A and B are shown apart, each in its own frame.
Chain A
């Protein structure tokens, strides 16, 4: 048989064409904010085309407020999806919080699954219910939404997550031009900064399911997922109050936390350096109980904050109900050519002032 045989030649050409055509691809269509994915279905082996719409066509702002209520700090969040949004906001997750929320008094699991699986099963259920009861006291949801505390042990991170309820009468999310209040966390930790990850509602959020487990698709999924949400800075409980109370230890925790702000664009290098210089005065003063020096350092730190946001000067102690709504920030994975970070994020400045006033109030007691 040779290439002169027309049937053979046609077969070869068809095979060659199908081989060229059968190639993994992921092409982004900016006009539709969607990816056109072409792949071989791992289950059916059929070449399949799928459209995956990115879940980032939302325009959120978040107001964070903190208030001391009966020895706990109540963190409340109000989310607005601005008019220019194309999708409903259907996930609100504050992530990247260090794991500082252990569940107290958990029942123990003593039975072995291998020896007595029924007893072990019952003990595991009791453990689950205890965990859930704890969660319900910590994180509260507005009507029609549900909330949970997510723990990523491998990453040593916690998240507070809110999503719409599943009853047909529950909302599907926050529509463009609408706001939702009532996302609440009750904790004893003082405020620090975290980022809220928000996503928009699409028809097939499972669109990245079942792609082939190949290096090409793993890289593509990672790329798509990294663009698939919007980040907004929020205040959240991350600074533990030492028990028994120790102002120097608290100040050290605060200083350590503030160092993370540079990475997430809440502060610039020069401002952080000035703040660190004041912490270097404050912490030794607290260590040796030199109240006057400590207060002076606190005032200097607050002044640094107010220099950037002058109207923050008159906030009451242990309450921050500032109406400022934080806007989306640049992701750490986004190229530096995107929107530059602020010199000192207003929400971060508020968190720092809140903590400094707390330390000063304790000094005055």
Chain B
């Protein structure tokens, strides 16, 4: 009687154990059409689970647990595998008791040795790639150079996730670099101003995030931000941030002609001084669309007054920002940064206006044209006297009757 009781309870616990472990209700392991077996020999793919056990009987013990045996009624060798699209728990740093030895050796009973167990992984995580910590870096990819109206630092977010869940307390490091010869500066050296990163924490918070501030320099150019995480599957990610004034357009290099056959304007800032020893700034005639329109009106008005060919010196670089005409990352230009200013030379292009008439010229254009075009014309003493024209930011001669 006592023996019968033992047999009864033995079968009861066996049934309970099988039910609890899903032997009769295979879960993800049996539902997949393809399999991934990750072992010390590397990762292998199979078309179907039976391929893991070509000459034996396959049993599902859990998500990632399979046994394969040539002898019915006995447990063979544990195998550990997950359907394609899944990865075993803890991979690749799981402290499993068993060491997977690959699928092609033979077990002592002749079954295919898919691994040695028990003690292997129990679960398969959905989405093989997400099963490992993933590092991402996101945020706006463009910002105006600092010092311009409306400038604000960018906020970037580095995020570490596993599956779809955020992973806290993951250490991430950051680095920043400026890409050489970007931002219309065809020169590069160690003194080039770079943007700065300021980082709230070195490890991810409860949301798996680290917030990073990016302060742009006043020089345009592309910055590469690199985030690295030694425990993540993708150990580093990069993101480019373009420091630029958006939507600047070129002044046409094909000027129309005046009635006397001369050109309405000439791009004269291509000399050694203005082009950075003649080599480093070759895209310095960029303006906003509105300024470009105003400039045309201005040139037309100049021509009407017999100015002849209007000599255009510096506008803005194609990406805006500081225009270091000496290729030294410094001034002299305080302006010329956002495509709304241009210099007009008194002396280039053989302008026929005498020095004595400069005041007449100034008043004429300030009074007659400032609003209609509109612009503000500034008689400028820096370097050689010239007109510094604000094509949008009007101040003087702006009176209207009240």
Chain A positions near chain B (C-beta within 8 angstroms): 42-43, 90-91, 93, 95-96, 113-114, 117-118, 121-122, 124-125, 128-129, 132, 146, 148-155, 157, 161, 163-168, 172, 195, 197, 199, 201-206, 208-210, 221, 225-226, 229, 332-333
Q: B377 to nearest A CB, angstroms?
A: 8
Shortest beta-carbon contacts, A-B, top 7: A96-B401, A206-B379, A155-B400, A163-B364, A161-B368, A152-B371, A121-B252
Quick check: B363 and A90 within 8 Å, CB to CB?
yes
Say which residue of B249, B293, B361, B396 sits within 8 Å of A208 (CB atoms). B396
| Known contacts A125-B256, A165-B306, A166-B353, then 19 further A-B pairs from the complex at CB < 8 Å, ordered by chain A residue | A90-B363, A91-B367, A93-B367, A96-B400, A125-B300, A146-B304, A148-B368, A150-B372, A155-B401, A161-B367, A163-B368, A166-B305, A168-B354, A197-B401, A205-B359, A206-B379, A208-B396, A210-B378, A221-B396
Q: A43-B382, A96-B401 are in contact. Are A128 and B296 (CB under 8 A)?
A: yes
Quick check: B359 and A201 within 8 Å, CB to CB?
yes
Question: Is residue B254 contacting chain A, with contact meaning CB distance below 8 A?
Answer: yes
Q: A206-B362, A206-B379 are in contact. Are A121 and B367 (CB under 8 A)?
A: no
Quick check: B363 and A91 within 8 Å, CB to CB?
yes
Chain B positions near chain A (C-beta within 8 angstroms): 247, 249-250, 252, 254, 256, 289, 292-293, 296-297, 300-301, 304-307, 334, 352-354, 356-357, 359-364, 366-369, 371-372, 378-380, 382, 395-396, 399-402
A136 to B378, CA, bound (A): 27
- Chain B residue at minimal CB-CB distance from A264: B401
A154 to B372, CA, bound (A): 10
Residues in A with CB closer than 8 Å to B369 are 148, 150
Residues in A with CB closer than 8 Å to B293 are 124
Quick check: A205 and B356 within 8 Å, CB to CB?
no
Quick check: B306 and A166 within 8 Å, CB to CB?
yes
Residues in A with CB closer than 8 Å to B360 are 90, 163-164, 166, 172, 201
Q: A43-B334, A151-B371, A206-B379 are in contact. Are A166 and B361 (CB under 8 A)?
A: yes
Residues in B with CB closer than 8 Å to A206 are 359, 362, 366, 378-379, 396
Quick check: B252 and A118 within 8 Å, CB to CB?
yes
Say which residue of A113, A149, A150, A157 sits within 8 Å of B249 (CB atoms). A113
Quick check: A157 and B256 within 8 Å, CB to CB?
no
Residues in B with CB closer than 8 Å to A161 are 367-368
Would you mind naming 10 contact pairs between A and B with Cβ atoms under 8 Å apart?
A121-B252, A146-B364, A149-B372, A150-B372, A163-B368, A166-B364, A167-B357, A206-B359, A225-B399, A333-B402
Quick check: B400 and A132 within 8 Å, CB to CB?
no
Quick check: A132 and B372 within 8 Å, CB to CB?
no
- The listed residue with most A CB atoms (<10 A of its CB), out of B354, B369, B399, B401, is B401
Quick check: B359 and A167 within 8 Å, CB to CB?
no
A202 to B359, CA, bound (A): 8
Quick check: B304 and A165 within 8 Å, CB to CB?
no
Quick check: B367 and A132 within 8 Å, CB to CB?
no
Quick check: A146 and B305 within 8 Å, CB to CB?
yes
Residues in A with CB closer than 8 Å to B366 are 205-206
Residues in B with CB closer than 8 Å to A204 are 359, 379
Residues in A with CB closer than 8 Å to B256 are 122, 125
Quick check: B305 and A165 within 8 Å, CB to CB?
yes
Quick check: B363 and A163 within 8 Å, CB to CB?
yes
Residues in A with CB closer than 8 Å to B250 are 117
A192 to B27, CA, bound (A): 93
Residues in B with CB closer than 8 Å to A155 are 400-401
Q: A319 to nearest B CB, angstroms?
A: 28
Residues in B with CB closer than 8 Å to A226 are 399
Q: A258 to nearest B CB, angstroms?
A: 17
A226 to B371, CA, bound (A): 17
Residues in B with CB closer than 8 Å to A197 are 399, 401
Quick check: A152 and B306 within 8 Å, CB to CB?
no
- Chain B residue at minimal CB-CB distance from A155: B400
Residues in A with CB closer than 8 Å to B362 are 205-206
Residues in A with CB closer than 8 Å to B367 are 91, 93, 161, 163, 199
Residues in A with CB closer than 8 Å to B368 are 93, 148, 150, 161, 163
A225 to B367, CA, bound (A): 12
A148 to B10, CA, bound (A): 110
A332 to B292, CA, bound (A): 37
- Chain B residue at minimal CB-CB distance from A94: B401
Q: A187 to nearest B CB, angstroms?
A: 18
Residues in B with CB closer than 8 Å to A150 are 368-369, 371-372
Q: B402 to nearest A CB, angstroms?
A: 6
Quick check: B401 and A195 within 8 Å, CB to CB?
yes
A166 to B302, CA, bound (A): 10
Residues in A with CB closer than 8 Å to B371 are 150-154
Residues in B with CB closer than 8 Å to A209 are 378-380, 396
Residues in B with CB closer than 8 Å to A114 are 247, 249, 289
Quick check: A128 and B252 within 8 Å, CB to CB?
no
Say which residue of A125, A129, A157, A333 sits within 8 Å of B400 (CB atoms). A157
Residues in B with CB closer than 8 Å to A168 are 354, 356-357
Quick check: B401 and A157 within 8 Å, CB to CB?
yes
Quick check: A132 and B401 within 8 Å, CB to CB?
no
Residues in B with CB closer than 8 Å to A164 are 360, 364
Quick check: A203 and B353 within 8 Å, CB to CB?
no
Residues in B with CB closer than 8 Å to A152 are 371-372, 400
Residues in A with CB closer than 8 Å to B395 are 221
A341 to B320, CA, bound (A): 53
